A and B are shown apart, each in its own frame.
Chain A
Amino acid sequence: MPDKMLTVENLEIKFKLRGKTLNAIRGVSLDLYKGEILAIVGESGSGKSVFTKSFMGLLDQNGKVTAGRITYYGADDGNPIDLTALRKEKEWYKIRGHEIAMIMQDPMTSLNPLKTIGVQIMEAVLLHQKMTRAEARKKTLQYLEDVGIHHPERRFDQYPHEFSGGMRQRVVIAIAIACAPQILICDEPTTALDVTIQAQILALLKELLRKYKLSIILITHDLGVVANIADRVAVMYAGDIVELGTGEDIFYDPRHPYTQALLSSLPQVGVKGTDLFSIPGTPPNLFTEIQGDAFAPRNPRALKIDYLEMPPYFQVSPTHKAKTWLLDPRAPKLETPAVVEKIRNGGLV
Chain B
Amino acid sequence: MMKQFSYRHTKEAKLMSGMNEAVEKAATLSDEELFSFAGFNAEAVERTGYSNYSYWRSTFQAFLKNKGAVLLLLLLALLLLFTFIQPYLPGQYDPNRIINDESGMQYRNIPPGDQFLLGTNSIGQDLWARIWAGTRTSLLIGLSVALAEALIGITVGVIWGYVRKADFILTEVYNIIDNIPNTIILILISYILKPGVKTLIFAMCLTGWIQMARFIRNQILIIRDRDYNVASRCLGTPTWKIMVKNLLPYLVSVIMLRMALTIPAAIGNEVFITYIGLGLPVDTPSLGNLINEGRALITSPALRYQLVYPTIILSFVTISFYIIGNAFSDAADPRNHT
Contacts and interface: CB of A to CB of B under 8 A. Distances in A.
B49 to A, nearest CB: 4
A330 B35 contact: yes
What's the interface size class on B, roughly? Answer: 20 to 34
A304 B25 CA distance: 11
B12 to A, nearest CB: 12
Contact of B46 (A282, A292, A303, A332): A282
Interface in A33-63: none
Interface stretch (A160-168, A194-202, A219-227, A293-301): A293-301
Contacts of B188: none
A297 B46 CA distance: 9
A331 B33 CA distance: 10
Interface stretch (B36-44, B104-112, B279-287): B36-44
A296 B44 CA distance: 11
B117 interface: no
B40 A305 contact: no
Given A303-B34, A304-B36, A297 B45 contact: yes
A298 B45 CA distance: 6
A325 interface: yes
Nearest to A305: B34
What's the interface size class on A, roughly? Answer: 20 to 34
Interface secondary structure of A, over-half rule: loop
A299 B37 CA distance: 10
Interface stretch (A64-72, A207-215, A306-314): A306-314
B330 to A, nearest CB: 14
Contacts of B26: 305, 308-309
Given A291-B19, A308-B22, A301 B37 contact: yes
Contact of A303 (B23, B35, B44): B35
B258 to A, nearest CB: 28
B38 A306 contact: yes
A220 to B, nearest CB: 23
Contacts of A291: 19, 22
B33 A282 contact: no
B31 interface: yes
A135 interface: no
A297 B34 contact: no
B126 to A, nearest CB: 52
A87 interface: no
A308 B20 CA distance: 10
Contact of A282 (B23, B40, B45): B45
A302 interface: yes
Which one of B23, B38, B41 has the greatest number of beta carbons of chain A within 10 Å?
Answer: B38
Interface of B: 19, 22-23, 25-26, 29, 31-38, 40-42, 44-46, 48-49, 338
6 contacts: A281-B49, A289-B19, A297-B45, A303-B37, A308-B22, A332-B37
